[in-house]
Structure 1
Amino acid sequence: MKLLSVLPFVASLVAAAPSSESLTSRALSTPNVTPSTVTVKGVSLLGSGCPAGTADVQIDATGTLLEVTFSEYIIQTGPGTRASDWRKNCKLTINLAYNEGFQFATLATEMRGFAQIPKGSRGTCTNVFDFTGESGQTQYSISLPGEREGPFSLKADPDLVSWSPCGGTTAILNQNTQCNISPTQSQALIAVDRISGKITVSVSLEWRKCR
């Protein structure tokens, strides 16, 4: 398995930290309510899995689906690989702008990519979300046990969620994506899908009105 013969990465999804009581008490849950405008105002990247210019963030017209794609994210183990190949991560800082009077949480998450994992090996990917200035986290984890080879699409739902703060028109959503493979002696791979050339993390957003 040669590095140049594959495209990069995968990852994510379950268990979440609870939102704080003070945060919950400041908002009233209202189903199927969304702001009229939701936009991505800026994104910054940091990590071994996302060199500059290799990750992209988009939000759909309804403001309820956030999609993050990675084009240079490869984890591989086996002969000729190094510790820096066995684990990758990318921390994204996403600035979302929307109409005043709303807050949101990350819900169901889907991760799509390519994996080649032999029997006896296992890949693991996690996506952790939190809001700048808030203490709660929402975490999603997926497992890729061997033996498997081909595209994957794995979904997860959190047991508990954290909400963005009320009282403003922007929120900084932090996403930390990490993937690793063990044991490191066997030849294995988590990478971008060979057709799309990307690893994709799709995140459903739920909105509610603040009190």
Structure 2
Amino acid sequence: MKYVALFALAARLAAAAPAADSVVNDPLVVPLATSPSSVRIHGISLLGSGCPAGTADVQIDETKTLMEVTFSEYIIQTGPDTKAADWRKNCKLTINLAFDEGFQFATLGTDMKGFAQIPSGAKGLCSNVFSFTGVSGQSSYSLNLPGPREGPFDLKADPDAVSWSPCGGTTSILNLNTQCNISPTQKQALIAVDTISGKLTVNVSISWRKCR
């Protein structure tokens, strides 16, 4: 009787589990085997007050599922003796990625790391917006840093919508627009690079799928 009961339980669990095909066909659930064997950064261009020439870098990890974007001179300040150019910083990165034919990718989350010194009554706000050249739509991520806080921060955000790179080629141009600001501007506050690494870092989770 014990074995009959166990068999019946196993049958019920199997019936409740999603079919394998439904998992594979979910555009947000991509088996690791469908990742391209090679992903390369062909080139990067920078524009903005938060990334003077030579102060930003982009790397792809070995799994091709994590992109690390770092800034070494991304500093936002408010308070006495600061000016409007200090209160908000932005950077637009244009990243040319090359990969195996027959794939497309999307950004599914960000993790932003840096240092903040924000008093009570003040608030920092950072946003990261991704889009693909030639494709309508974008993926947006917002991160709030309310005061009071002082020290390193590590904030994660999910997109409000997901946009995929176009199919039909072996390259895609990913545009990242990142910006941070602090308000109100009369209070002394700071968002800056991490005091240990010397960088403000945006880690980007990437998902791949085969074009259909």
User: Normalising to structure 2: TM-score of the pair?
Assistant: 0.85
For residue 175 of structure 2, what is the aligned residue in structure 1?
174
CA distance in 2, matches of 1:121, 1:59: 35
Count of aligned pairs between the two proteins: 185
CA distance in 1, matches of 2:46, 2:37: 28
For residue 97 of structure 1, what is the aligned residue in structure 2?
98
For residue 194 of structure 1, what is the aligned residue in structure 2?
195
Deviation at 1:64, TM superposition (A): 0.7
Kindly provide the amino acid, as one letter, of the partner of residue 209 in structure 2.
R
Runs of 4+ in structure 1 displaced over 2 angstroms?
27-30
CA distance in 2, matches of 1:74, 1:66: 22
Deviation at 1:36, TM superposition (A): 0.4
Q: What SS does the aligned partner of 2:35 have?
A: coil
* C-alpha contact 2:140 2:161 (8 A) present in aligned 1: no
Deviation at 1:159, TM superposition (A): 3.8
For residue 115 of structure 2, what is the aligned residue in structure 1?
114
Q: CA RMSD in A?
A: 1.2
Name the structure where helix makes up a greater proportion of residues. Answer: 2
> Are 2:38 and 1:31 aligned?
no
Alignment of 1:64-103 (within 5 A): 64-103=65-104
Q: What SS does the aligned partner of 2:134 have?
A: coil
For residue 60 of structure 1, what is the aligned residue in structure 2?
61
For residue 3 of structure 1, what is the aligned residue in structure 2?
none
CA distance in 2, matches of 1:48, 1:160: 27
CA distance in 2, matches of 1:123, 1:176: 17
For residue 23 of structure 1, what is the aligned residue in structure 2?
none
Q: What SS does the aligned partner of 2:163 have?
A: coil
* C-alpha contact 1:28 1:210 (8 A) present in aligned 2: no
5+ residue gaps in structure 2?
A: 1-24
- Choose 1 or 2 for highest CA Rg: 2
> Are 2:136 and 1:135 aligned?
yes
CA distance in 2, matches of 1:77, 1:28: 45
* C-alpha contact 2:127 2:179 (8 A) present in aligned 1: yes
Deviation at 1:28, TM superposition (A): 8.0
> Are 2:64 and 1:48 aligned?
no
* C-alpha contact 1:28 1:208 (8 A) present in aligned 2: no
* C-alpha contact 1:28 1:209 (8 A) present in aligned 2: no
Indicate the larger mover: 192-201 or 159-168: 159-168
For residue 7 of structure 1, what is the aligned residue in structure 2?
none
* C-alpha contact 2:141 2:160 (8 A) present in aligned 1: no
5+ residue gaps in structure 1?
A: 1-26
